Amino acid sequence: MVNLDELIRQAQELQPLPVSTVRLASLVASSHTDLEDICEVIAYDQALTMTLLRAANSAADAGVSEVTQVHEAVFRLGGARILSLAMSVSTRSLLKRGVPAYGLNEGDLWLHSVAAASVAETIAEFAAEPLPPETFTAALLHDLGKLVMGRFLDPFDLEMIHRAQSEGGLDPLTAERQILSVHHGELGGIIAQHWKLPEKIVKGIIFHHTPAEGLDLICDAVYVANLVAKPVVNASLPTAVVDPEVMERLGVEQTRLDELTAAAREHYESVSERYNAN
């Protein structure tokens, strides 16, 4: 059986994020930051500079003229997208791993994560309330906990989680919590804290299945992003079933869910290039 302390220890032993990504996260989260501060951080990171320039010229974000300077890329993409992109560069190899315990083959989690980030961008267009700038990044990282959890669950744990659902009638998240005393959202939150990411990102990850407990719009947006990302990646899936109260808090009419999904699918296809998703 997996031990809770061991799971948490493993979550806290993941390789740290690059200093520039952490700094960028803190700048984007701060209300006192201007884009010049962000440019300064990026200028010291060559790999990130290349990624941003490519992204700023990609199909989803390209303007009339080609972007060749960091500050032009930053102004074109904005802080929220920049952070999400920087995070994708830092976590891509991690999120590309397969997680058989969750039925995820190599690359599946990465596609879902990028889709969730792009759905979050679409939600921002639909929502009546402005979303926190950390939202896209929280959506990208929301399933981080599965990576650690998936590596350490043994056959006994998996069988019990399965039986808690089939015999106990629990939903997957409650089953995980009842059997392991922690669910993948909470474990993802521990990783985000270990990476010193802003509190809103941590919250968005922890409460992505239970947004009412998070008491923050970022939790609502990440919850919807996670659900809508599934039919966005796999068009044969039906439109997601979303809690109407969450939609109300976001200021998106429930009747617009199909429209949101269609827009998110279109957006995902164009941002895949930006995230180098495939």
Q: Which residues bind other proteins (CB under 8 A)?
A: 1, 4, 8, 12, 156, 160, 163-164, 167-169, 178-179, 182, 186, 189-190, 193, 199, 202, 206, 213, 215
Least distance in angstroms from the C-beta of 103 to other proteins: 20
Please state the separation of Cα 219 from the chain's center in Å: 11
Residue 186 CB, shortest distance to other proteins, in Å, is: 6
CA-to-CA distance for 267 and 116, rounded, in angstroms?
11
Is residue 10 classed as helix, strand or coil in its secondary structure?
helix
Cα gap 131→124, rounded to integer Å = 6
CB of 267 to other proteins, least distance (A): 31
Q: Could you tell me the smallest distance in angstroms from the CB atom of residue 155 to other proteins?
A: 11
Helices and strands (DSSP H and E) totals, the chain: 17, 0
Rounded least distance, CB 160 to other proteins, Å:
5
Q: Which is nearer to other proteins, 33 or 178 (CB)?
A: 178
User: Which residue has 């069988």 as its token pair?
Assistant: 159
CA distance 27 to 119: 23
Which two three-digit tokens encode residue 73? 């890329």
- State the amino acid at position 66 in one-letter form: E
Distance of CA 89 to the CA centre of its chain: 13
- CB closer to other proteins out of 189 and 231: 189
Given the complex with other proteins, which of 1 and 128 has the nearer CB atom? 1
Rounded to 5°, the CA angle 7-100-91 comes to: 65
Q: Which is nearer to other proteins, 154 or 259 (CB)?
A: 154
> Looking at beta carbons only, is 79 or 145 nearer to other proteins?
145
